[in-house]
Structures are given as C-alpha cells and as structure tokens.
C-alpha cells in the first residue's frame, strides 16, 4: 500500500553554499519542508533521501561539456558562474541529488508507492539550459526527469508556475513533440524570455505555451487562465505525466517579483492541474521562492490540496490585472 505523499529531500545533506545574503540559500529548503508540519500532513508523508543522479542520466538534458564543467568546478573549490550563480565544493553532490530527487519521485509514482510525489531540493533548475548554468540553477532537474519519461515513450506536460520564465526548460524541449511546456510568469522580468509568440520549433509546433503576466496579477486571473487556456491546451496534448515546476516566488511577499498571489491560490492551481492526468501521475518539484514564510505557507497549502485536505492559511486573491494576456492566448491557440 502506498502513502498519500512521498517527499524526496535531504536538507541535512545540503552542501550547496552561496555567498552571504544570496536569496537562494539552504534555509529555503528548511522553510519549504516546514510547510508540511504546518499543514498537519506529517501522518500523510513518507520522507526519503534521494539518490545521486548519474552523469549518464543528467546527460539526457545536458551536454557532457556542461556536466564535466560543474563537476570540475566543484572539485576545484567552486567559483562564480555569473553574477547570480555560484558553485561551492559541495555543489556537485547537492545538485546531482536534486536531479536524483525528481528521478526517484517518478519511480515512486510509477511503482504506486504514493499518490503525489514532492521533490524538495535545491538548487532550483528551470533556468539551466543544456550547456550552461544560470539564474541560481546548475542542472535542470525537471528537464532530466521529463527527458527520461519521454525516452520511454511517455508524453509529459510540464507546468511551470515560477514567477520567472523557465528559459532552460523551454530551450531543452522547444523542438521536442513529446513534451509540452507551459509557463505562467511575470513579464518583463529575468531572464527576459517567455514571449507569447514562442510556441515551439518546426518539429513541435504549439508545444510551448507562455503566459506572460504583468506585475500585480492575482489569483483570479491565474484561475481563469488555467480554465480557459492551460487546461484545454494540456488536454489536447493528452499527457501521461504532469510535472509541476513549483516556484513560489509569485507570492505577494516575495522580494524578487511583483505578482500578488497567495498560498491559497497555489492550492487552487494544484487541484486544477492534477485533474489533467491520471491518478498517481502528478509530480511537484520545488523551484524558486525567496520569502521564507511564503515558502512554508505555499508548500503546505499545495501539498494539502493535492491529497484532498483543506489547509488554507491565507485567502485566495482576486483582481483584474492580466486579463488581456488570457484573451491574447485564447486567440493565438484558437481556443473557443
């Protein structure tokens, strides 16, 4: 018999260190995991330490050159990749374990060991492109898992609700018809990608849906976008698996962005998305989120919703900002 949720995490083994004051730090993982107890979910959860992904597995989404560079840089004591992204001596182990968390989550779901799997690890991954690290991200954890599923002949929908566009995930699958990538994000914002007219490559037309929302957008508009755009596009794609790139930096308290979502909004999004695939095929992977309280509340509310519980520490938000984004997407994707 399975359990409602298996959480793959290793906060006590987190050795990926960033400079003092950096927004992406080990405390983020502790804050996210605290949401499980805050939501009263401990009896519904099994915690497991994820394995280290192999270079061969990571190679499904990243070049050998990039993998070797990350390992070498970590072994040599670390260093700065760009102004936002750093490697320390412990980064290789932590980053490969972050990939392993998502791969283990897929295996647990496939084996029927849980209803929902949560890969709670860092660093996040959705900015990492096939040949480079960027935006706090070393490896694209979700992309490796999606590529592994696609290699087995399965169709994967990735829905990325991080406030920043997942340029790395889009880049890796832009011309791959086996994977649908959907991103709801704030624009303009780092990294400057994610235009609505980026809809897929020549071999995978209409396999890439971007919904760039302006600052100030609230939950009602996101719920409408899910109902009127995301759900019909995902249903048309007919995925076998759903992977949620769950960044919680669209929360109104987050210091790095300007959306005005709440933890209850994330709970609503999770329920709606879960309905788009069969039972036991929903995987949640932690991406961004840089206000610790918001991380705790949002993780708890999201996981609670996915197993039919009702932890709602905040009210859902409402507003009209962002509606034109929905209307434009409906026209572009020819949705009635």
* Close Cβ partners of 62 (under 8 Å, ≥ 6 residues apart): 128, 130, 131, 139, 140, 144
SS3 162: coil
Dihedral of CA atoms 217, 26, 283, 289 in degrees, nearest 10, equals 0
Which ranges of the chain does DSSP label H, i.e. alpha helix? 27-38, 55-58, 64-75, 91-110, 141-151, 167-173, 219-225, 231-237, 263-274, 292-306, 323-332
- Contact predicate 265/219, CB 8 Å: yes
For the beta carbon of residue 320, count every other beta carbon within 10 angstroms: 11
**Token pair for 240:** 């076998």
Q: Which two tokens stand for residue 99?
A: 């990939």
The reply to whether 185 belongs to the active site is: no
Q: At what angle do helices 91-110 and 64-75 cross, to 10 degrees?
A: 130
Q: Are 24 and 107 in contact (CB under 8 A)?
A: no
Residues 22 and 85: their CA atoms lie apart, in Å, by: 10
Query: What's the token pair of residue 225?
Result: 């976008």
Interatomic CA distance for residues 145 and 131, integer angstroms:
17
- Active-site hit among 127, 164, 165, 251: 127
Show which residues are catalytic.
Answer: 127
């Amino acid at each position: 018999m399975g359990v409602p949720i298996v959480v793959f995490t290793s906060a006590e083994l987190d050795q990926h260190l960033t400079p003092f004051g950096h927004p992406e730090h080990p405390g983020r993982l502790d804050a996210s995991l605290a949401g499980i107890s805050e939501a009263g979910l401990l009896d519904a959860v099994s915690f497991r330490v994820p394995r280290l992904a192999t270079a061969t597995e990571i190679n499904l989404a990243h070049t050998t050159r990039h993998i070797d560079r990350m390992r070498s840089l970590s072994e040599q004591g670390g260093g700065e990749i760009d102004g936002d992204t750093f490697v320390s001596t412990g980064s290789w182990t932590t980053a490969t374990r972050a990939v392993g968390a998502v791969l283990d989550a897929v295996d647990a779901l496939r084996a029927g060991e849980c209803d929902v799997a949560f890969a709670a690890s860092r660093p996040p991954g959705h900015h990492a492109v096939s040949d480079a690290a960027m935006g706090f991200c070393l490896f694209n954890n979700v992309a490796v898992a999606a590529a592994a599923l696609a290699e087995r002949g399965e169709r994967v929908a990735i829905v990325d609700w991080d406030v920043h566009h997942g340029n790395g995930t889009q880049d890796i699958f832009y011309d791959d018809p086996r994977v649908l990538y959907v991103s709801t994000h704030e624009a303009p914002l780092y990294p400057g990608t994610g235009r609505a007219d980026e809809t897929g490559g020549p071999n995978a037309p209409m396999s890439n849906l971007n919904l760039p929302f302006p600052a100030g957008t609230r939950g009602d508009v996101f719920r409408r976008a899910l109902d009127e755009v995301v759900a019909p596009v995902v249903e048309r794609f007919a995925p076998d698996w759903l992977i949620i790139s769950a960044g919680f930096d669209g929360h109104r308290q987050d210091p790095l962005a300007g959306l005005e979502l709440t933890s209850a909004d994330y709970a609503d999004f999770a329920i709606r998305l879960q309905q788009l695939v069969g039972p036991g095929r929903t995987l949640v992977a932690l991406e961004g989120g840089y206000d610790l309280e918001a991380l705790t509340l949002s993780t708890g509310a999201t996981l609670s919703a996915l197993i039919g519980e009702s932890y709602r520490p905040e009210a859902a938000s409402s507003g009209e900002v962002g509606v034109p984004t929905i209307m434009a997407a409906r026209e572009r994707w020819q949705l009635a």
